[in-house]
Structure 1
Amino acid sequence: MVALASWALNASGLRVEDPSSGDVVGVRSAVSADAVRDLITGAEESFVTFGPLGVVVMVMLGVAVAERSGLFEALARRMLSGLSPRTVVLGVALGGVLGKFLSDSAYVVLIPLGAVAFRAVGRSPMLGMIVAFVSINAAGDANPLIAPGDALFASVATEAAQLVDKDVVVRATDNMYFTTVSAFVLAGTIALVVDKILTKREHHLIPDADLEAAAAQQVVAAGVDDATERRALKLTGLAVLAYATLIVFAMLPASSPLRGEGGAIVESTFMNAIAVFLTVFFLLIGAVYGRLTGRISGSRAIPEFMADGVRSIAPLLVLFFAVSQFLALFPINPTVAGAAGEMISSGSDVNRFLDALVRGKLLRPAQQRELMRTRPTGNPDGRAYGLGLESRPLPCGGLYWGHTGDFLGYETAAGATIDGSQATVMVNLGPGASDAQSDDVKAAVQTALCEGRSPASQ
């Protein structure tokens, strides 16, 4: 429908004014020969470079090991066993809130556990099943912890946000203030409704004896004896503590590679790459628990678990393919960035221009002085700003002058020194908009300028 609409609007000659630049632009037909050719030749690249794809596959490799080792099921069973009559409703509701870690198997695991937990305190197993089912559906996305899906949602949100601002990065932790509070609010609301309303009709909920027995049998069949499971959970907890301690100590030094520029923690490598640390976390706890319980007994087990996990998200990968092709079919015209998106040039042209500009070949002396009269920006890298021109210190001594620019999928950094060195670095496969990757582009310019200077000028 959108493709046909673009063809019709293009054929009608529709023109609109770009609010950012005031230019008049037309509608690009998605069914033109050039558009179809670009779509076909770029289909593979569009899919492979689609932001959420790598995050989802990577995190699932770790989650699959933890889930298929039986760890999540064991935690749910331990959490819901031994609840008192006063806490059973809230306990089952909280179990449903944490069901995100079990993904689709939450229904298979938690609903029978809810029935058994309610029956153990003399209440209707049917009501326990209802509470578990409602909690999974109504509160399953409100999780007080970082779950695998959070990394997916963050990557998808980043793709959408960067359509407006390329520098925006949404992290898996950004929504925790909301989901953490929501988890307890929803669980408390479910418990309140059950205790004040559904309890009055509990005597009408008479379970089928055969189904109740089947549910109980499903819960009891844990695959390992109680002592082994307890020991495995304790040692897995120690592994979690060791992993968290290692990360904390690694981030203590202000110069830690896990921190960001100037020792920042929020804008840091750790926060920007939280999906990597989640993958390692789930892989670690799944491997430890699986080894101790015998679920992982050979070298093939972990790769097989990972393969099963990737197979389970096959429908999502198909969706990602469709979305990536849609985005490729309807790209954003760079003219929305105004002058920054309308200039066509090359690295050598930019070098010649900057060389002439900083060496006073384009402006009168008074104008040149104003151009290069800078004010410090307060940035830790020593950057100062003049009239549309930046100065930055070089690691080999002295300053260089230039500027950076970026747009969706592109980034350019250029610089020149007053003694005649120039360098321009252009990236045309969206570096990802992270500060670290942009810093790498600037560092490449600095390296080229230092290597191109004569020993006398250094």
Structure 2
Amino acid sequence: MRADAGKAIGHSKFLSWIERGGNKLPDPVFLFLYLIAGLILLSVFGAAMNWSAIHPTEIDPETGAKKVIAATSLLSADNIRNLWVEMPKTFTSFHPLGYVLVVMLGAGVAEKSGLFGAAMRAGVANAPTYLLTPIVALVAMMGNLAADAAYVVLIPLAGVIYAAAGRHPIAGIAAAFAGVSGGFSANLFPGQLDALLFGITQSAANTVFPDWQANIAGNWYFIVGMTIVFLPVIWYVTDKIVEPRLGTYRAEGANAVVAGAAMDARGVSETEISQPLSSDQRKGLRHAGLASIGVVALWVLMTLGPDTPLIDETATPEAQLTPFYQSLVAGFMILFLLAGWAYGRATGIVKNHRDVVRMMSESMADMAYFLVLAFAIAHFVAMFGWSNLGLITAVHGSDGLHALALPAPLLLILVVLFTAALNLFIGSASAKWALLAPVLIPMLMLLGVSAEMTTAAYRVGDGATNIITPLMVYFPLILVFCQRWVKDFGIGSLAATMLPYSIGLLLIGMALVGVWVAAEIPLGPSAPVYLPTR
């Protein structure tokens, strides 16, 4: 492979500096435990210094004036009692916990039955050479619904398909990686990421507006917009920048054989992944499609049919569909569950209901780390609320931003840039959002910007720099995939290959945020850019 040695060395040094700094950070679980310790000290200091703010919406019933929010020490008797007595409730009432676990009960069956992997293989099979990149990119972005499966199935498969088409396999890997990870939030449908992020968003929003309810379709239109604008960026960067730079691929002796027979992270060979779908697998996809149509029809019936259980006809017109939006978490769980079951029955992977229960149990086992992390995050978020520091910061921050008179598009673009920079060091989307949301969501809501819009801006920044930081959990795996084809392909080579995607996705993402806010396009059903009360 021919490369610009000077640029690669400089870029590798920069990434090495990021890697060294990031590796000094503790595991996200302990990061939040340390943050809790710091929060306790800050709350004691804030209470001693009488930090306070005027609540923008709540009225003190005794005085009739707006309520004063005072910093409260987390070492006070009440807060110590809350910590120990309410610990089970604090954990189990953490909004993302229920959302994610419910969706994963179904998604685990769809993944472990092989449905997600087969659907991605079918999506890129027999694609015309000139349309290979956009098809791979689109399937990769859609593959985010499959979580880990997109990384370990689609990305190595893209390299095999590009090589078979006479194109450079690294270009295929890069295009798939850009779609799966750079376009992490882009999709045509909401999924488990929406459930996770909006659970955290709701916790943050409720500190200012206790009645605000999230729905996982709150960014639906926006993520579709991301998919539409990201697709040509990935197409252009792959075909016009990355692949010409890589040059013509020449198999490096035995390395070509190693690449063809390499094993992915789940013990499935790339040779097996690249084989055409069997008749049973094609039958399974048809059955899964019919099951999906059945679930969609059921939800349409419950929304538009007799008695309309998913419509609250007693509510105001803008709130009547709230039950429908809130039911989507369960809806996606049922859709993934039945589609995965139907696929597994057709292929013989699911022989009886016990196999389905086993797959659901295994999917919960896969969530073990998330449960530990959620425990730490739940207590950080709760204690942040008990101290009142988040709300005080949000009120004074919104007052300061209001005095600066910065336009909303610029504020949200700054959110994108800050998130993109933080993402170089903290890869977990949930960990970053749990850290940022308690301040950003209330602060921007007080300026009239909806929680859905702030969440959307965060998502743009969170994805764009995933593909250039070695601290991203799958970065080493992608490097291994590349080295199967080009033995001396290093961290600097991968980062330099992915940097044009990162820049392109970040720029087009910021432009999308700016246009979306300026045109006040709804982010999803009943999800405006600005709060109705502005």
Whether TM-score is above 0.5 comes out as yes
C-alpha distance in 1 between matches for 2:257 and 2:290: 40
2:107, 2:146 within 8 Å by CA — same for their partners in 1?
A: no
Q: Is 1:237–2:292 an aligned residue pair?
A: no
**Would you say 1:10 and 2:47 are equivalent positions?**
yes
**Relative to 1, partners in 2 of residues 1:26 and 1:115: Cα closer, same or farther, differing over 3 Å?**
closer
Q: Is the 8 A contact 1:97 1:183 kept in 2?
A: yes
Number of residue-to-residue matches in the alignment: 335
Matched to 1:100, the amino acid is N
Q: Does 1:315 align with 2:369?
A: yes
Aligned to 2:272: 221
Cα 1:291–1:253 shift into 2, 3 Å = closer
1:25 and 1:95, CA in 2 relative to 1: closer, same or farther beyond 3 A?
Answer: closer
Query: How far did 1:161 drift?
Result: 1.4
Output the CA distance in 2 between the equivalents of 1:124 and 1:17.
59
Question: Would you say 1:170 and 2:246 are equivalent positions?
Answer: no
Larger CA Rg, structure 1 vs 2: 1
Cα–Cα, structure 1 residues 22 and 274, in superposed 2: closer, same or farther, change >3 Å?
Answer: closer
Cα deviation, 1:32-72, whole Å, max 9, x if unaligned, reads 34322221111111111222211111111011001100001
Shift of residue 124, structure 1, vs aligned partner: 1.7
- Report the equivalent of 1:295: 349
Residue 258 of structure 1 corresponds to which residue in structure 2?
310
| Higher strand residue share | 1
* Secondary structure of 1:193's aligned partner: helix
Shift of the alpha carbon at 1:225?
6.7
Q: Is the 8 A contact 2:79 2:386 kept in 1?
A: no
Q: Structure 2 matches for 1:138-287, cutoff 5 A?
A: 138-207=182-251, 208-215=255-262, 218-221=269-272, 226-253=278-305, 255-262=307-314, 267-287=321-341
From 179, 182, 199, the equivalent of 1:135 is 179
Q: Which has the higher helix share?
A: 2
Superposition TM-score, scaled by structure 2 size? 0.58
Q: Give the CA RMSD over aligned residues.
A: 2.7
In structure 2, the CA distance between the partners of 1:7 and 1:86, relative to structure 1 (3 Å rule), is: same
Percent sequence identity over aligned pairs: 31
Asked if 1:125 corresponds to 2:163, the answer is no
Secondary structure at 1:87 match in 2: helix
Deviation for aligned residue 1:327: 3.5
Q: Which amino acid aligns with 1:211?
A: V
Q: Could you tell me the TM-score, scaled by structure 1's length?
A: 0.67
Q: 1:285 to 1:25 in 2, by over 3 A?
A: closer
Evaluate the alpha carbon distance shift between residue 205 and residue 160 of structure 1 in structure 2; reply closer, same or farther with a 3 A threshold. farther
The CA deviation string for residues 327-382 of structure 1, in whole angstroms up to 9 with x for no partner, is 43344589x99xxxxxxxxxxxxxxxxxxxxxxxxxxxxxxxxxxxxxxxxxxxxx
TM-aligned CA distance change 1:124 to 1:19, over 3 Å: closer
Q: Give the aligned partner of residue 107 of structure 1.
A: 151
Contact 1:126-1:206 within 8 A present in 2 as well: no
- 1:256 Cα shift? 1.0
The Cα of 1:267 is off from its aligned counterpart by 2.3
**Residue in structure 1 matched with residue 515 of structure 2 by the alignment:** none
The AA in structure 1 aligned to 2:42 is A
Which amino acid in 1 is paired with 2:75? V
| Alignment partner of 1:59 is 2:103 | yes
Give the letter aligned to residue 43 of structure 1.
Answer: M
Partners of 1:173 and 1:329 in 2: CA distance? 28
CA contact (8 A) 1:93 1:190 kept: yes
Q: Which runs of 5+ in 1 are unaligned?
A: 338-458
2:358 and 2:157 map into 1 onto residues whose CA distance is 28
1:23 Cα deviation after fit: 5.9
Give deviations 1:279-317, integer Å, cap 9, x for gaps. 111111011111111111133211221122112222222
Q: CA offsets per residue over residues 143-169 of structure 1, 9 Å max, x none?
A: 111222212222221221111112222
Q: 1:31 to 1:192 in 2, by over 3 A?
A: same
| Counterpart in the other structure of 1:326 | 380
Contact (CA 8 Å) 1:39, 1:328: kept in 2 or not? no
2:53, 2:124 → 1: CA distance?
A: 61
Alignment of 1:297-446 (within 5 A): 297-332=351-386
Q: Which runs of 5+ in 2 are unaligned?
A: 1-37, 57-64, 392-534
CA 327–134 in structure 1, closer or farther in 2 if over 3 Å, else same:
closer
Describe the shift of the 1:174–1:77 C-alpha distance in structure 2 as closer, same or farther (beyond 3 A).
same
1:143 and 1:33, CA in 2 relative to 1: closer, same or farther beyond 3 A? Answer: same
Q: 1:24 Cα deviation (Å)?
A: 5.6
Does the Cα contact within 8 Å between 1:58 and 1:276 map onto a contact in 2?
Answer: yes
- The answer to which structure, 1 or 2, has the higher relative contact order (CA under 8 A, 6+ apart) is 2
Q: Helix, strand or coil for the counterpart of 1:221? A: helix
1:377-434 Cα shifts (integer Å, max 9, x gaps): xxxxxxxxxxxxxxxxxxxxxxxxxxxxxxxxxxxxxxxxxxxxxxxxxxxxxxxxxx
Q: Deviation of residue 104 (structure 1)?
A: 2.0
Higher alpha-carbon deviation: 207-216 or 18-27: 18-27
SS in 2 for 1:230: helix
